[in-house]
Amino acid sequence: MDLIRTSARFLIFALLMSVIPASVHAQLFISVNFAPPELPVYVQPMCPQPNLLWAPGYWAYADGGYFWVPGAWVPAPYAGAMWTPGYWGWSNGNYAYNEGYWGNHVGYYGGINYGGGFLGIGFAGGEWRGGNFAYNTAVVNVNTTIIHTTYINRTIIETSTVANPHHAAFSGGSGGVQHQPTAEEKVAANEKHTAPTPVQTQHAAAAKSDPTSFAKANGGHPKTLAVAKPMTAPAHAAPAAAKPEAKAPGKAAPKAAPNGAPKAEEKAAPKAEPKPPAPKPEERAAPKAEPKPPAPKPEERAAPKAEPKPPAPKPEERAAPKAEPKPPAPKPEERAAPKAAPKPPAPKPQEKAPPKAEPKPEEKPK
């Protein structure tokens, strides 16, 4: 009969959850007629990266009974958000669960000492300083080689701790924690709240799907008390955030591709690569032509024969540089051939005609 009543209450709660806005989820609760198991004691895993907040483990309820949701480091929904854990409260013979929420301040969570900074009143494990979360290493366990926004405040431990020697998981009633909300906690309760993030709800769903997490199976001593790996990769929020990011770079990429870099690089690369090899062979051919010029030196030897024609070599020198850029350097050699034409002046032997001393016969009249 008790199980039927519990199931009926749970069904009504599920129906209300589907129609009531998330902003008032903190006011809803699950009512069960028997108390949750004691809170297990465990060591808080080390916070591996900045701006993660601790969400302590707790006993949740489903049709199969109470099951343990391991503690975990989770990302806040926004900078400045503080987590207020849910809690079980006794009322009129029943135990009702008040769901946790995010807000600008830590509210009332029944005075339950969950550990890890939630000592019963507020949060002693750290505070937001601008856009960064500073951790109180006197209370929480963090990796200080990666996280540098830390401080030590031991006084807050005394002012935030509510005695709970029996590790009770509920507030009020016989055997429960006795703590009334403070003025600050009442103010925080009236502030705007944000429901647990998708990361947290999926984390709880995973615990619910694990049969070993139920108190009936583990006797109130779950094996997995806390998750060492932080909940930093939300299944729903991450893809949604990644899609717009992927679209933005995707659109920018094609625009940049046609306008400049890729096309200019492709055109310039092929043109520049073939051109440099072409001039290199020309430069190599030039030195080969340089040794050839010594060949015309014999032409210079021929030049002394026509001593008055020394200016002729000057045009040859002018022709030579022209031949260097132009491979048809042999053309000046053909011009050099006609220089042999001056050899016809060999008729200089005509000067030998002086034997025409024909005037000598004029002596005959003597």
DSSP letter assigned to residue 349: G
Contacts of 229 (CB under 8 A, 6+ apart): none
Residue 71 class from Cβ within 10 Å (0-12 exposed, 13-18 middle, 19+ buried)?
Answer: buried
The arithmetic mean of pLDDT across residues 277-303, rounded, is: 44
| pLDDT of residue 10 exceeding 60 | no
What's the rounded Cα separation, in Å, for the pair 232 and 222?
Answer: 23
Least confident residue range of 134-143, 219-228, 237-246: 237-246
| pLDDT of residue 321 exceeding 80 | no
Q: Which two tokens stand for residue 224?
A: 């997995």
| pLDDT of residue 283 exceeding 50 | no
**Residue 136 φ/ψ, nearest 5 degrees:** -90, 100
> Coil, strand or helix: which one is 129?
strand
What's the rounded Cα separation, in Å, for the pair 269 and 157?
Answer: 68
pLDDT of the residue at 225: 97
- Neighbour-count burial for 180-211, b at 16+ CB within 10 Å, e otherwise: ebeeebeebbeeebbbbbbbbeebbeebbeee
Closest to 89 (Cα-Cα) out of 79, 76, 74, 99: 99
- Neighbour-count burial for 85-119, b at 16+ CB within 10 Å, e otherwise: bbbbbbeeebbbbbbbbbbebbbbbbbbbbbbbbb
Closest to 85 (Cα-Cα) out of 58, 60, 105: 58
pLDDT of the residue at 231: 75
Residue 15 class from Cβ within 10 Å (0-12 exposed, 13-18 middle, 19+ buried)?
Answer: exposed
pLDDT of the residue at 51: 96
- Residue, of 229 and 79, whose pLDDT is higher: 79
What's the rounded Cα separation, in Å, for the pair 362 and 294?
Answer: 58
Contacts of 174 (CB under 8 A, 6+ apart): 90
pLDDT of the residue at 29: 56
Least confident residue range of 41-45, 50-54, 106-110, 350-354: 350-354
The answer to whether 334 and 299 are in contact (CB under 8 A) is: no
Q: Where are the alpha helices (DSSP H) in the chain?
A: 2-19, 155-160, 183-189, 198-208, 215-218, 237-259, 261-272, 279-289, 297-305, 313-323, 330-336
pLDDT of the residue at 65: 96
